[in-house]
Amino acid sequence: MITNDERERRMDPEQQSSSGAVPPPIRRIRVDTSPTVAPSRPTHAAETLRPTRGAAGPERMTIDGLSVFYGPKEAVKQVSLPIRQGEVLALIGPSGCGKTTLLRTLNRLTELTASARREGQITLDGTDIDDIEVTALRRRVSMVFQQPNPFPMSVFDNVAYALREQGSKRPSRKVLEPYVVDALQRAGLYDEVAHDLSHPALRLSGGQQQRLCIARALAAGPEVLLMDEPCSALDPKSTAVIEDLILELRESLAIVIVTHNLQQAHRVGDHVAFMYLGDLVEYAPGDELFTNPRAERTRDYVGGVFG
Amino acid sequence: MATSMPPRTPLPPLRVPGQPTGGPPPKKRRANESISTWRLTDRIGYFLMWAAGLLVVAIGLGIVGFMAIKGLQYLRPVLLTSHPQADLDQSKSGGFFDPLVGTVLLTVIGIAIATPIAVATAVWIVEYGRPTWLARVIDSGIEIIAGTPDIVLALFGLVLFQQGIFGWMSFRAEDGAVFGRSFLTAGAMMSLIALPMVFAATREGLQAVPAHVREASYGLGKTRAATIRRVLLPSVKSNISTGAALGMGRIAGDTAIVVVLLGASLRLDPEGGIFGILQGTGGTLTSYVYNNSPAGEGNAAQKAYAAAFVLLLIVIGLNFAVDAIARRGARANGIETSRLGGS
């Protein structure tokens, strides 16, 4: 028997004729021509805030010959990168190229995966991150995830959670309040939630939730902020708000952002690193990498040829 | 990349016997799926599913309706508040205040023991679970407890709690033999009835918490212990409540353990205050129903009906509580769930 759907399609005269015609041509991929990079138009404040080159601060983290293995599979191969204060490092590359793994290695979150193994050295302000107590390291190198993931508690408690030490004595709400408010203000969320800080965090909108997660990460007072595709679950408007926020935060922090959105990498990235199959293919200032890529693979990728 | 595809000859339209071909589509009807286009076996299956669902509803309504008619006929408020008496004359045999208290007491003791053990086990299995062989052993241990008939648990409990070191839980005869039957011993065994339900609900809840939520907590420099206490346990609060309510329903409805380990007596042991009651024997609504029904001594069927109706109300009430908790929990977490929430 056939479903109604099939019956309709069979009766549709257009379908009939097209199925008899030549199949549509497959787009030919031409790697020998120069790539077409979409010209960036100033669409929102993130564009006007574009960095002035060469203003990067001191190097906070250094990745030196980093390799990460999941069992026998080498997810990141011999990558070396500097992470500087006052600039945004954007990691781009196709899915499964190791950029998220690289990001998670920076605050030792890969250690939660039983099969993961790491070689090479990562230093934070000259100290090997293996020599820093892991909870202290993660407070200094904080992370924002792809999915907004507030905890099932109030807005206030979400931010305060990051501040409360694990000691036996918990600071009171009164002591914490100015810090919570400060973190919410830095994340640009305070005005929207000020009227009710005891509002359940999970009732906020997606964009607000993600800014709450940024506030939470900022409350710990990090020196480096890691962002794993922070806008991929958000609408364009919320994305624009968060991109502006990234450019503001850049002044006081070193930011590493993983993104699938090349335009976003171009808009916020002072330096862009392109990874492919675990290799670091190219590392260059954002404008340079997008307008004049040196490696052929980079050219193909930013030209939108494979992804 | 492939250069080009080989030329494709289009397949002729599929013809199926018994189906009208060609002709304009029916105009009036929207192109929704209609049962008239189904295969005969599919249609029979569809009606069987409907029939099965209606049958279950009918049975449920039948039980509740029958018990309501019989129970309400004999249920008087005085029955709930008066002590039972052993008397052949039904007008003097009193109510079932003691069994009602017994049910509540036993349920509270059972769930109070079961919940912390079940939650701790579930947290360990989901959050640690290493070494793997130990996790597997614990998992099968709980399956064994869940699968053991309650009468077997009761007999095992009787042997266990008659050991000398458990003397404080019941009372000793003058020669030092331990009686082994009391609210404490019965409650301890009852906790095993509820434990698998609380465990399963908690584990399910923990497994439903996405990994990135845990990582968000670790990513803020929190320890595993802080993550469990401040993030994970609050997340699964409604799951724990659901499991506990289900387990309470099971305890309230259990008879075998009451008969073997609680003595199934008419009255509570009033000697020695609260702890005396806990160390003493007693009965519950289930044992009261059993004793008064035609299957037991059988001379007070009316009171059995009244007590059974009260018991049914308690268990149904717990089940509604389960549903309400699950739905409220889902709403608080901003998750849409099916109406069946419950187990």
In a domain? residue A131: yes
Return the pLDDT at B108.
92
Contacts of B97 by beta carbon, 8 Å cutoff, 6+ apart: B80, B81, B82, B83, B84
Give Cα separations from A235 to A145, A192, A229, A232 (angstroms).
16, 18, 13, 8
Q: Measured between beta carbons, which residues in chain A are less than 8 angstroms from residue B216?
A: 143, 145, 149, 151, 213, 216
What is the C-alpha to C-alpha distance for residues B343 and B340, in angstroms, rounded to an integer?
A: 8
| CB contact burial A67-79 (16+ within 10 A = b; e otherwise) | bbbbeeebbbbeb
Q: Is A178 on the interface with B (CB under 8 A)?
A: no
In a domain? residue A40: no
Which residue in this structure is represented by tokens 């980093």? A66
What is the C-alpha to C-alpha distance for residues A87 and B235, in angstroms, rounded to an integer?
A: 37
Structural contact between residues A87 and A51, judged by C-beta atoms closer than 8 angstroms: yes
Task: Tell me the residue length of chain A.
Answer: 307
Read off the pLDDT of residues A195-225 as tens digits, 9 standing for 90 and up: 888 888 888 988 899 999 999 998 888 899 9
Return the pLDDT at B273.
77
For chain B, the straight-line distance linking the first and the last C-alpha, in angstroms and rounded, comes to 51
In a domain? residue B119: yes
In a domain? residue A139: yes
Read off the pLDDT of residues A11-41 as tens digits, 9 standing for 90 and up: 444 444 444 455 544 544 444 544 444 444 3
Domain range for B274: 75-332
- Shortest distance between the Cα of B205 and any Cα of chain A, in A, equals 13
Q: How many domains does chain B have?
A: 1
What is the C-alpha to C-alpha distance for residues A306 and A297, in angstroms, rounded to an integer?
A: 9
Nearest to B219 by CA among A140, A113, A125: A140
Of A8, A112, A166, the CB nearest to B223: A166
Long-range contacts of A41-47 (CB under 8 A, 24+ apart): A43/A240, A44/A240, A44/A243, A44/A244, A45/A240, A45/A244, A46/A240, A46/A243, A46/A244, A46/A246, A46/A247, A46/A267, A46/A268, A47/A267
In a domain? residue B7: no
Q: Is B39 on the interface with A (CB under 8 A)?
A: yes
In a domain? residue A254: yes
What is the C-alpha to C-alpha distance for residues B164 and B180, in angstroms, rounded to an integer?
A: 9
Domain range for A211: 61-302
Residues in chain A predicted with pLDDT less than 70, given as ranges, are 1-56, 165-169, 304-307
Return the pLDDT at A106.
92
In a domain? residue A14: no
In a domain? residue A51: no
Residue type, A73: K
Return the pLDDT at B244.
92
Q: Is B239 on the interface with A (CB under 8 A)?
A: no
Return the pLDDT at B342.
38
Which residues does residue A63 pair with via DSSP β-bridges, in sequence order? A81, A122
In a domain? residue A276: yes
What is the C-alpha to C-alpha distance for residues B52 and B55, in angstroms, rounded to an integer?
A: 5
Q: To 10 degrees, what angle do helices B237-253 and B301-332 make?
A: 170
Return the pLDDT at B26.
55
Structural contact between residues A116 and A110, judged by C-beta atoms closer than 8 angstroms: yes
In a domain? residue B224: yes
A to B CB pairs, distance under 8 Å: 110
Return the pLDDT at B17.
65
Q: Measured between beta carbons, which residues in chain B are less than 8 angstroms from residue A216?
A: 216, 220
Return the pLDDT at A50.
47
Contacts of B183 by beta carbon, 8 Å cutoff, 6+ apart: B102, B105, B106, B109, B262, B277, B278, B279, B280, B281, B282
- Residue B169's CATH number: 1.10.3720.10
In a domain? residue A32: no
- Residue A211's CATH number: 3.40.50.300
Rg (CA), chain B: 28
Return the pLDDT at A168.
58
Residues in chain B predicted with pLDDT less than 70, given as ranges, are 1-6, 16-33, 88, 298, 330-343
Q: Do A112 and B215 touch (CB under 8 A)?
A: yes
In a domain? residue B22: no
Q: How many domains does chain A have?
A: 1
H or E element that contains B292: helix B285-292
Give Cα separations from A143 to A200, A228, A254, A268, B213 (angstroms).
22, 8, 12, 17, 12
Of B7, B19, B24, the CB nearest to A1: B19
- Chain B contacts in chain A segment 207-236 (CB below 8 A): 213, 216-217, 220
